[in-house]
């Protein structure tokens, strides 16, 4: 089975998105690319945490581009905040164009995690639709596992309308992300990760989740779903339910895996499933 370590990027880029946002991007190039892979990270983190995934994709013959969404990592923007969900779509479209330019006329795949999976899914069933050959969705953030108290939801809605940037701690715990102590320690020491979420991000994410729930059955490209069976952040039951409405969906619920399936002790399993899916698509 696939078991690889992280690799350094071939080069880095700075991309320009809407509203004056600048996005940090990392590129990984094989000798002769036969496809392109665009990586989209999760909430409150950054693309530098996906260099092992990039290794798998590069070795499969993909020219890889990963980027930090606005408000994340080395990109510009207030941490944990967006004005509108369309800001994420703009970032995704800019990064897709930069990725496609790495190997023109080659098929393009999207590999996304958590909030990145939500962004990708919303784009796959939105208008205009995200153009790609296939998509890989790990631990898609389609609903919170733990119920949010009604007063907190009400407060977020009010704050989103009158003070959109109002932020609170996101309460992500490293132990809920992975059962691997080394990965937990790496997350704690990672200064490019943040720990806040704005009211506007919360309400925009909930609206995007509703759109995906309603439109997932219209997704018309092959998808691979890697769902952490023991995920206490993104609800795995909701993710599987929605995945089963998607045509041409390959679904794996990974028993014992927490939220970050790529960072679990047994990550060789989902990394191998990723590699095999890419091979089938190409």
Task: Give the residue among 137, 117, 150, 105 at the shortest CA–CA distance from 42.
Answer: 117
Assess if residue 4 is contained within a domain.
no
pLDDT of 172: 77
Assess if residue 45 is contained within a domain.
yes
Is the backbone peptide bond immediately before 128 cis, with ω within 30 degrees of 0? yes
pLDDT of 22: 98
Assess if residue 189 is contained within a domain.
yes
* Whether pLDDT at 159 is above 70: no
Query: Which residue has 């995945």 as its token pair?
Result: 243
What's the CATH code of the domain at 186? 3.40.50.1820
Q: Alpha carbon of 238 to those of 38, 119, 244, 245: distances in Å?
A: 25, 16, 10, 11
Exposed / middle / buried, residue 113 (Cβ in 10 Å: 0-12, 13-18, 19+): buried
Beta strand 22-28 pairing with 11-16: antiparallel
**Average pLDDT taken over every residue of the chain:** 93
Assess if residue 5 is contained within a domain.
no
What is the number of structural domains in the chain?
1
* Whether pLDDT at 154 is above 90: no
Assess if residue 2 is contained within a domain.
no
Beta bridge partners of 251: 225
For 198, the domain range is 11-281
How many whole angstroms separate alpha carbon 37 and alpha carbon 205? 24
* Whether pLDDT at 27 is above 60: yes
Supply 171's token pair. 């309460």
Assess if residue 121 is contained within a domain.
yes
* Whether pLDDT at 169 is above 70: no
Per-residue pLDDT tens digits for 92-147: 999 999 999 999 999 999 999 999 999 999 999 999 999 999 999 999 999 998 76
- pLDDT band of residue 148 (cuts 50, 70, 90) is low
Contact 66, 7 (CB under 8 A): no
pTM of the model: 0.94
Supply 265's token pair. 């002790």
Per-residue pLDDT tens digits for 188-220: 999 999 999 898 999 999 999 999 999 999 999
Per-residue pLDDT tens digits for 234-255: 999 999 999 999 999 999 999 9
Assess if residue 6 is contained within a domain.
no
Per-residue pLDDT tens digits for 36-87: 999 999 999 999 999 999 999 999 999 999 999 999 999 999 999 999 999 9
Query: For 17-44, what is the mean pLDDT?
Result: 97
Assess if residue 3 is contained within a domain.
no
């Amino acid at each position: 089975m696939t078991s690889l370590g992280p690799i350094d990027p071939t080069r880095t880029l700075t991309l320009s998105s809407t509203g004056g946002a600048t996005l940090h991007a990392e590129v990984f190039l094989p000798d002769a690319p036969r496809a392109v892979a665009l990586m989209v990270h999760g909430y409150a983190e950054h693309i530098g945490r996906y260099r092992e995934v990039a290794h798998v994709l590069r070795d499969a013959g993909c020219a890889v581009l990963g980027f930090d969404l606005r408000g994340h990592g080395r990109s510009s923007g207030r941490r944990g905040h967006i004005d509108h969900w369309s800001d994420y779509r703009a970032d995704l479209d800019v990064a897709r164009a930069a990725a496609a330019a790495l190997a023109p006329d080659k098929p393009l795949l999207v590999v996304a995690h958590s909030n990145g999976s939500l962004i990708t899914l919303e784009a796959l069933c939105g208008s205009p639709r995200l153009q790609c050959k296939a998509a890989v969705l790990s631990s898609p953030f389609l609903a919170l596992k733990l119920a949010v108290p009604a007063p907190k939801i009400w407060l977020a809605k009010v704050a989103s309308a009158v003070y959109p940037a109002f932020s609170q701690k996101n309460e992500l715990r490293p132990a809920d992300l992975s059962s691997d102590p080394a990965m937990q320690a790496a997350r704690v020491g990672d200064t490019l990760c943040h720990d806040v979420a704005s009211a506007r991000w919360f309400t925009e994410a909930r609206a995007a989740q509703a759109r995906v729930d309603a439109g997932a059955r219209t997704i018309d490209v092959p998808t691979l779903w890697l769902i952490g069976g023991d995920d206490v952040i993104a609800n795995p039951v909701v993710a599987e339910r929605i995945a089963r409405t998607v045509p041409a969906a390959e679904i794996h619920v990974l028993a014992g895996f927490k939220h970050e399936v790529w960072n679990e002790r047994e990550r060789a399993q989902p990394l191998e499933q990723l590699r095999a899916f890419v091979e089938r698509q190409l």
